[in-house]
Amino acid sequence: MTSLSTWHRQSCQSCKQCQVAQKILASGRQVEAFSTRTSMRYFFILIFIMFILAGCSDDRVVTSIDLYFMEVTETEFKLASETRNFDGPQPGIMPVMKAWLEGPQAPKLNRVVPEDVRLINGFILDGVAYLDFSSEITKAAMGSELEAVLVESIALTAAQVKGVKSVQIMVEGEIIESLAGHMLINKPIKIDI
């Protein structure tokens, strides 16, 4: 069964009402086509802008770690900490100890270790941080108080890294008795924080 309007469109090609309806119908298709193309173009532009803005986000994770250095007073050498920021949820032992070797940024603090000392290797195994320093760490002239501050600053700085419960200081790949003859380091140093 055909409706009256369908019959009218099929039978009449020239009446004024049909010509107007055909123009409206045709222009509607053009508008719809234009709308669809324009919408798609705006959609892709919006997606592109979102990708650009996603790269500009400042949602990076930063972890604050205390590095221990020496503060010199009139009567003693003592430990003092300085907070540094590291990218990521938890920095490893190597970046933390390398930042410690660079020395303090605060003018009231002093580096504990000679400037030419290098960290050869550092890793954590079963809760023990193994820190292997170059031999220059043993060549500095240190009394018992300065040696204690050095060993404690290494241990406390390393303890800031997740999973570290004790620290084994090594020199050139070897476990040695002492850095300067005053404090034993031939076993892992337990850390109580």
Q: How many CB atoms lie within 10 A of CB 156?
A: 19
Model pTM greater than 0.85? no
Provide the pLDDT for residue 18. Answer: 56
pLDDT reported for residue 7: 47
- How would residue 166 be classed by pLDDT, with cut points 50, 70 and 90? very high
Q: Over pLDDT 70: what percentage of the chain?
A: 69
Pairing of strands 62-72, 77-87: antiparallel
6-53 tens-digit pLDDT: 545 555 555 555 565 566 555 555 545 555 666 667 666 766 666 565
Side chain identity, residue 26: A
**Nearest residue to 80 (alpha-carbon basis) of 57, 53, 99, 107:** 107
